[in-house]
Chain A
Amino acid sequence: MKLFEYMGKEIFSSYGITVPRGRMADNSQDAANIAREIGGTVVVKSQILAGKRGKGGGIKFASSPEEAGEAAAQVLAMTLNGHKVEKVLVEEKIQIDKELYLAITVDGSAKKPVIIASAQGGMDIEEVPDEHIVKQYVDVSIGVYPYLGREISRQLGLTGSIGKEFNRLLPILYKIFREKDAELVEINPLVISGDKLIAADSKMTVDDDALFRQKAVPYVEDRTSIEKQAHDLGLAFVELGGDIAVMANGAGMSMGSLDTLAYYGGKPANFLDAGGGTGVEGTTKAIELLLQTNPKVIFINIFGGITRCDDVANALVQVKNAREIPVPVVIRLVGTNEEAGVRILKENGFEAYKVMHEAAAKAVEIANAS
């Protein structure tokens, strides 16, 4: 789950990382008032869950409260990179002597956190040449002590009071990363402003799987309506826009199903991983979600391990009895309790395929014929 910049900055600030003075506003009047409190020139920043805001005009400077109100009104009317702007952050304009980059994220291949820093901040880190990027892995059983800060400071060429400030900041950022179950904490740019280091931006992603114990972190919804319904049911769902609704169990199998449909010239409407051991109720709801995509055909591909074929079959029968299913259903069903599942399907007028690519080809044939 991605957090808005202003949320990340509130967390930074509460841990003792210096951020520009400012607050979030969702209307021009509040924005003007915040600018008046701050005094002097302010910056009005659109709050969306995507980068490259400046290029789209989503960041504006204002030298008076009236200008700030106008800027806010303009920005709040924008849609940037497909994201409708609903909030702005109004902040003091800070003096920028130099911009650094600092982030901590999870490195899957090293299986541990990695600190990424660069003396070339302010741009996308992907555009910074490797020789200007400093990487330090963290042993989670040790954590981050000031010595790691000193080493990174040395490599970045930070000296004197700025070096000391960096050494203080790094363990704090790691503390946030760990305590907030973050997948990413990023400060870009981390601004050298006189003898201070100021986090001029924040990007933070919190692990969805840890939200159960992160009650204090604000909840940010970034899903379409169907994706949200699926999430609430514990299903992974992604809308893809085609006309073959797809349900499979397991992420890899779901992807494999999409690839197979695409191979035969089909256009999947969605990715839906019905998960393992979803049971009759979950499967029933999953099928109802599929119908919301208005497909020409439904393709169900189940290789039961933890999922039991009879559960899937019973669910399908339950949906059929509860409501009309307006499109053909092509089912491939093998694995745990396969015989029972296939028998239940047959008794209720469904045919079950054994071979995945044959079932996929059939689904594509139906979709492309209608």
Chain B
Amino acid sequence: MAIIINEKTNVIVQGITGNQGRFHTCQMLAYGTKIVGGVSPGKGGQEVEGIPVYDTVYEAVDNQQVDASVLFIPAPFAKDAAFEAITAGVKVLVIVTEHIPVHDEMDIVELACRKGTTVVGPNTFGIVSSGKCKIGIPPNQFFVEGPIGVVARSGTLTYEIVGNLTANGLGQSTVVGLGGDRVVGLSFVDVLEKFEKDPQTRAVVLVGEIGGNAEEEASLYIKKMTKPVVAYIAGKSAPPGKRMGHAGAIIERGKGTFNGKVEALQAAGAKVATLPFEVPELIRQILK
């Protein structure tokens, strides 16, 4: 099983002829992702790594079965590209691009919601159903199939934790990057609900950070879950009022603090790791 994407997911890459698009198309193919096409306006008819390039998403959809699209499109043009994919009927949209204006993000998420498209991101590393399909940018070698679901707000920190899990013999069902921006397509709860139903997933790791109230909202659902949850929250040492890189990672007016999140998660029955490398041991204790 796994969630959202699997070995049968047919993927297109929007922006496939750009630097990042090209590099990560190679990496995704190496991981085993079924990439069926790329889109790059004005470059239709070319090939990248043997993958046909189309001028528009509509053209790609006319020629291929397309289940998902990943965007390697600069921020000023991302909304247009996302609207194109959503209206063309693509059901899973992974938006890697960072620095998309928040009003564009609200527009994208709203349209996706109406059209029934799942949006992963923006400002995400993507999503990996380990051993089956990777859509996005994480390094291949750390993602190995197994029973742990991972859901996170941030990218590299997730690699850190997934790397630790894999090094300790704990593979993953699916690893989902929600994205670091204030407005993103999926919430922790959306993903936790899917992990709860997924037969492959036996335990879930939640990687959160200071700011906002996503972890507190997740706690309300964790209380109802049958599967165990281990969490790590980044930003314990962050001073209030300073935005720590991500749009949402800021402690404002005493809200979104580390302690508040940890207390909410613990009260819901989740185990909280102090440092990232403790996560595998906590999982191991639970799964014994």
A contact residues vs B (CB 8 Å cutoff): 106, 108-109, 111-113, 126, 139-141, 178, 181, 183, 207, 209-210, 212-213, 236, 238, 240, 248-256, 258-263, 268, 271, 273, 275-277, 303-307, 334-336, 355-357
Given known A181-B103, A276-B98, contact A250–B154 (CB-CB < 8 A):
yes
Q: Which of B3-11, B40-48, B56-64, B231-239 contacts A (4 or more CB under 8 A)?
A: B231-239
Q: DSSP class of A's interface residues: helix, strand, loop or mixed?
A: mixed
Q: From residue B189, how far is it (CB to closest CB) to chain A in Å?
A: 10
Bits for B257-281, please: 1 = Cβ < 8 Å to A, else 0. 0000000000000000011110000
Q: How far is the CA of A356 from the CA of B277 in the complex (A)?
A: 8
Asked if residues A263 and B102 are in contact (CB atoms below 8 Å), the reply is no
Bits for B82-121, please: 1 = Cβ < 8 Å to A, else 0. 0000000000000000111111001101110010000000
Q: From residue A180, how far is it (CB to closest CB) to chain B in Å?
A: 10
Asked if residues B182 and A254 are in contact (CB atoms below 8 Å), the reply is no
List 30 A–B pairs whose Cβ atoms lie within 8 Å, in order of A's numbering.
A109-B212, A111-B110, A111-B183, A126-B253, A140-B110, A141-B110, A181-B102, A181-B103, A210-B102, A210-B103, A236-B244, A250-B155, A251-B209, A251-B245, A251-B249, A252-B155, A252-B157, A252-B180, A253-B159, A255-B237, A256-B232, A259-B275, A260-B276, A261-B237, A275-B98, A305-B159, A306-B20, A306-B24, A335-B139, A335-B159
Q: Which of A108, A113, A256 makes the CB contact (< 8 A) with B234? A: A256
Asked if residues A252 and B237 are in contact (CB atoms below 8 Å), the reply is no
Task: Give 20 A-B pairs besides A111-B106, A183-B102, A305-B155 with Cβ atoms closer than 8 angstroms.
Answer: A109-B187, A111-B110, A111-B185, A181-B103, A209-B99, A251-B154, A251-B180, A252-B153, A252-B158, A252-B207, A253-B159, A255-B210, A255-B245, A256-B160, A271-B238, A271-B244, A275-B98, A276-B155, A335-B159, A355-B277
Q: From residue A303, how far is it (CB to closest CB) to chain B in Å?
A: 5
Q: Which of B76, B99, B217, B237 makes the CB contact (< 8 A) with A259? A: B237
Q: From residue A46, how far is it (CB to closest CB) to chain B in Å?
A: 20
Given known A108-B212, A259-B234, contact A236–B160 (CB-CB < 8 A):
no
Asked if residues A263 and B138 are in contact (CB atoms below 8 Å), the reply is no
Asked if residues B253 and A262 are in contact (CB atoms below 8 Å), the reply is no
Asked if residues A141 and B111 are in contact (CB atoms below 8 Å), the reply is yes
Q: Which of A178, A238, A249, A263 makes the CB contact (< 8 A) with B244? A: A238
Interface centre among B102, B103, B125, B210 (most CB of A within 10 A): B103
Q: From residue A101, how far is it (CB to closest CB) to chain B in Å?
A: 15
Q: From residue A158, how far is it (CB to closest CB) to chain B in Å?
A: 27
Counting CB contacts under 8 A, is B243 at the interface? yes
Asked if residues B160 and A106 are in contact (CB atoms below 8 Å), the reply is no
Q: How far is the CA of A210 from the CA of B241 in the complex (A)?
A: 21
Q: How far is the CA of A201 from the CA of B184 in the complex (A)?
A: 31
Given known A210-B101, A210-B103, A256-B234, contact A306–B137 (CB-CB < 8 A):
yes
Counting CB contacts under 8 A, is B227 at the interface? no
Q: How far is the CA of A259 from the CA of B207 in the complex (A)?
A: 14
Q: How far is the CA of A238 from the CA of B209 in the complex (A)?
A: 17
Counting CB contacts under 8 A, is B214 at the interface? yes
With CB as the reference atom, state the residue of chain A lying closest to B187: A109
Q: Inter-chain contact count A-B, CB under 8 Å?
A: 170
In the A-B complex, the 6 residue pairs with the smallest Cβ-Cβ separation, listed nearest first, are A252-B154, A251-B245, A250-B156, A252-B157, A253-B156, A210-B101
Given known A251-B180, A252-B157, A303-B159, contact A109–B217 (CB-CB < 8 A):
yes
Q: How far is the CA of A252 from the CA of B24 in the complex (A)?
A: 22
Counting CB contacts under 8 A, is B163 at the interface? yes
Residues of A within 8 A of B246 (CB): 251-252
Given known A109-B213, A255-B235, contact A248–B156 (CB-CB < 8 A):
yes
Q: Which of B139, B156, B212, B275 makes the CB contact (< 8 A) with A252? A: B156
Counting CB contacts under 8 A, is B248 at the interface? yes
With CB as the reference atom, state the residue of chain B lying closest to A302: B156
Residues of A within 8 A of B157 (CB): 250, 252-253, 255-256
Counting CB contacts under 8 A, is B242 at the interface? yes
Q: From residue A30, how far is it (CB to closest CB) to chain B in Å?
A: 32
Q: How far is the CA of A108 from the CA of B110 in the complex (A)?
A: 13
With CB as the reference atom, state the residue of chain B lying closest to A180: B103
Q: How far is the CA of A258 from the CA of B236 in the complex (A)?
A: 8
Asked if residues A277 and B20 are in contact (CB atoms below 8 Å), the reply is yes
